[in-house]
Chains A and B, each alone.
Chain A
Amino acid sequence: MDAQLKRGMLDAFVLKLLTRQDSYGYQLSQDAARIVSLSESALYPVLKRLESGGGVESYTQEYGGRLRRYYRITKAGYRQIDAFLKEWEEIRKIYDFIREE
């Protein structure tokens, strides 16, 4: 699949996972695994990208004597999901068009 398209999808996917609650690396990879095969090492760039884009913020919290980094969706992140859904409408139209012929 086109890399750009795939990136946008994964970003929106991880953002959606974070709308339920703040989460951390392992938990996210487990939640993601229920729906797509997304390896731990593929999850990292997604989070990194989301964080530098402002769609996600992170903070650390102690857990069992060590620190865990939690990720939290921001308002910009919610807007990003909306934008993705809108964009997807376009892609859907094209997809439908291609299938019909």
Chain B
Amino acid sequence: MNRGEFLDHLDAALQNLSAKDRTDALNFFEEMIADKAADQGRSEEDVIADLGPVEEIAKSVLSSMPAAGSEAQPPANKAPARAAVAQSIPGEGGATGKRVEMSADQVRNVILRVTDCPLIIRRGGDTQLTLQYTETEDLHFECSLEDGELRLIQQSRVRYGLFGWRIWARRTDMTIELTVPADIASSLDAQTSNSSVRAEDISFWGDLRLQNANGRIQCKGLQARSVELATSNASIRAEHILSQQGMDLRTSNASITAESLRAAQAITLRTSNGHVEARQVQGNQISLRSSNGALQFGGLEAPDITLVTSNGRIEGGVTGKPAEYTVTASTVNASNSLKNHPAGGPRRLEVRTLNANIQVHFEGEAVASSNG
């Protein structure tokens, strides 16, 4: 059986499911077959034979659905308690600007789930929370407010044709803008992809989580209970961020630049194939990690500092004097300015790379070293 036949069979066996659930399943197995065949250097027919009878697969898929075998219906779940009232502002080219406005007091949590849309989060008036977005023929959102939770969820912008082949809607890149008071008693959990995320000058009483994929994240002047900034294949820039708990910044294949971060708990900056630059970072624990990228820093202050990369140099300063630290430092095929102090002071400093230099100085000793 070739891939087309297999998907055809599976599609037929899943007729009872909604189009969305069926397409999800078909995509999953289609991707599995392609990946497995490519990775193991086998034919797709061979890999498909491995999967077993289509009926068994269909049974397994149906078992994951809440009401297996029931009427094919769009997942109507429960109706959102109260659709937030959006004011419509007609725009050009069939686009409609939407504006949702409410008193910020009644919001304890904001959830944004979108794809391909840039996000801008910024401070506005003293009391109002405003959410602005644009709908087009291909782009729809569901906006609701329930129990203090404001949600903006993008409805699928992908349409499906025969056999579940994806038909991508035209990319529109409609910016979503959230404006809140400078000080808001809410959490924010925002997720987009393939786009940019920007947040500035806001203090959240709750948790802040900004996620992207294949797009940048830029943050400045933020405060929150905990801070999580995550993307992939794009850079993160964070300045003047404060957290009562921990701070987690991560990406891949791109750089992280941070200045003036402070957290009561651990601060982690992690990437791969990109460099990490961090200045004036203060926490209970600091960890800068990369691979194939340099770590450059100054003013790192924590009882526990971990600096790990490979094929990239580690260069910069930590606060305090050498005697305060218990040091483990290693590199291979390169020079190392640090000496191991297995039984040094109460602060812990771990520095590791490969094939690149380690050049770390102690800022508390700056005067002494300039004399020497």
Q: Is the interface of B mostly helix, strand, loop or mixed?
A: helix
Q: How big is chain B's contact interface, by range?
A: 20 to 34
Q: Are A45 and B28 in contact (CB under 8 A)?
A: no
Whether A40 pairs with B24 at a CB distance below 8 angstroms is: no
Q: How far is the CA of A57 from the CA of B115 in the complex (A)?
A: 13
> Interface with B: A12-20, A61-69, A79-87, A92-100, which one?
A61-69
A26-49 to B contact mask, C-beta < 8 Å, 1/0: 110110000000011110111111
Do B24 and A26 touch across chains, with their CB atoms under 8 A apart?
Answer: no
A78 within 8 A of B: no
Q: Is the CB of A40 within 8 A of B31?
A: no
Contact A68 B51 (CB under 8 A): no
A57 to B29 alpha-carbon distance, docked (Å): 18
B28 near A69 with CB under 8 A, answer yes
A68 contacts B31, C-beta separation under 8 Å: yes
Q: Is A8 an interface residue (CB 8 A)?
A: no
Is there an interface contact between A45 and B61, defined as CB atoms closer than 8 Å? yes
Interface string of B38-68 (1 = CB under 8 A from A): 1100000000000110001100110111100
Closest to A40 in B: B32
B214 at interface (Cβ–Cβ under 8 A)?
yes
| Residues from chain A with Cβ under 8 Å of B52 in the complex | 39, 41
Let me know if B35 and A45 touch, CB within 8 A. Answer: no
Q: List 27 A-B contacts (CB under 8 A).
A: A24-B31, A25-B28, A26-B31, A39-B51, A39-B52, A40-B29, A40-B32, A41-B29, A41-B51, A44-B28, A44-B61, A44-B64, A45-B63, A45-B64, A46-B64, A48-B61, A48-B64, A52-B66, A59-B193, A61-B232, A61-B233, A64-B38, A66-B31, A67-B31, A68-B31, A69-B27, A69-B28
Task: Please name all residues of chain B whose beta carbon is closer than 8 Å to the beta carbon of A59 when the two chains form the complex.
Answer: 115, 193, 213
CA distance A19 to B49 in the complex (A): 31
A67 x B51 contact (CB < 8 A): no
B34 at interface by CB-CB < 8 Å: yes
Nearest Cβ on chain A to B192's Cβ, whole angstroms:
10
Question: What is the CA–CA distance of A59 and B191 in the complex, to the nearest angstrom?
Answer: 10
The interface of chain A, by Cβ under 8 A from chain B, is 22, 24-27, 29-30, 39-42, 44-49, 52, 57, 59-61, 64, 66-69
Contact A41 B60 (CB under 8 A): yes
Q: Are B166 and A67 in contact (CB under 8 A)?
A: yes
Contacts of A25 in B (CB 8 A): 28, 31-32, 35
B60 touches A68 (CB 8 A): no
Question: How distant is A74 from chain B, measured CB to nearest CB, in Å?
Answer: 9
**Residue B25 CB within 8 A of the other chain:** yes
Binding site for A on B (CB under 8 A): 24-25, 27-29, 31-32, 34-36, 38-39, 51-52, 56-57, 60-61, 63-66, 115, 166, 191, 193, 213-214, 232-233
Report the bound CA distance from A40 to B115 in whole Å: 28
- Which B residues lie within 8 Å of A66 (CB)? 31, 34
Are A41's CB and B61's CB within 8 A?
Answer: yes
Tell me, rounded to whole Å, the shortest Cβ–Cβ distance linking A72 to chain B.
8
| A6→B166 CA distance, assembly (Å) | 34
- Interface contacts beyond A40-B36, A41-B60, A66-B31: sample of 19 additional A-B pairs, CB < 8 Å, sorted by A: A22-B232, A24-B31, A25-B31, A26-B35, A29-B32, A40-B51, A41-B29, A41-B61, A44-B28, A48-B61, A48-B64, A48-B65, A52-B66, A61-B213, A61-B233, A66-B34, A67-B27, A67-B166, A69-B27
Interchain CA distance A57-B193 in the complex, whole Å: 13
